[in-house]
Structure 1
C-alpha cells in the first residue's frame, strides 16, 4: 500500500529521535530557517500530541509511524506506564487487555484487592479478556495483592504491572 500525501509530508516535516522520544519540526521559512524546533504539547488526558495539517495525533503513534514506516494497527502501550515517554524502546503493540493490565493502580490501593466489609476480608481478583477470575479471600490487603500479582504475571506476562 502506497503512503498517502499526508503520510509523506508528516515523515518529511517531523523529526523523531527514537533514543530520547523527542519530536521536532524543521522551520521552512523565517530567520531560523532549517533549524529544528520542538513539536507537540501535552493534552488534557496527559498524552503528548502533535498537531500537523489540522490533525492532532498522539505522539506515540507518530513515533511508531516514523520509526517503522507504517501506522500501528492497534493500541500502542507505554511499557513503563509513562504516557510522556515516547522512546521507541518503551513502545509496544498491545491488545486492549494487555494495555489495561499495564495500567497503574488508582489511588493508594494495592492492585487486584478489594476490602469486603461485611466479612472483614480482602478479596483478590483479576480480569482478563472480559472474564473476572476470582482468586480468593485473604486476611490482609498485601496477601490479596500477592495473589493478584501471581495470577496477572501468568495471564499477562510482561504486560503485568504490580502497582
Structure 2
C-alpha cells in the first residue's frame, strides 16, 4: 500500500463526502445500467469513465451499488482536477482509483 500525502487524503475525503451527500443508496437503484458501469462475465461490476480523451478503468466491484459509488467518487476527483498537464493524467487517474476504493470501503 502506498501512503497518501495529506493533500491527496483531503481530496479523497472531499470527493467521498460529496458523493455521500448525494445519497449512496440511490446511486445504483435504476433499472438500466448507470453511466460508467458494466457487468462482467464473472457477474462482478466494472466502473470506468472517460478522462483526457480516453476510457479509464477504475476497478471491479462485487455489487452494482459499489461500482456506481466508485464511479461517482472517481468522477468527483477528476472533475476537481483542472486541465491536466503532461504527466498529470496518470497521477490524477491513480488518485481517482484510490479514492474510489477508499469510498467503497467506508
TM norm structure 1? 0.28
- Structure with more of its chain in strand, by fraction: 1
TM norm structure 2? 0.42
Structure of higher CA gyration radius: 1
Q: Which has the higher contact order (CA 8 A, sep 6+)?
A: 2
- Structure with more of its chain in helix, by fraction: 2
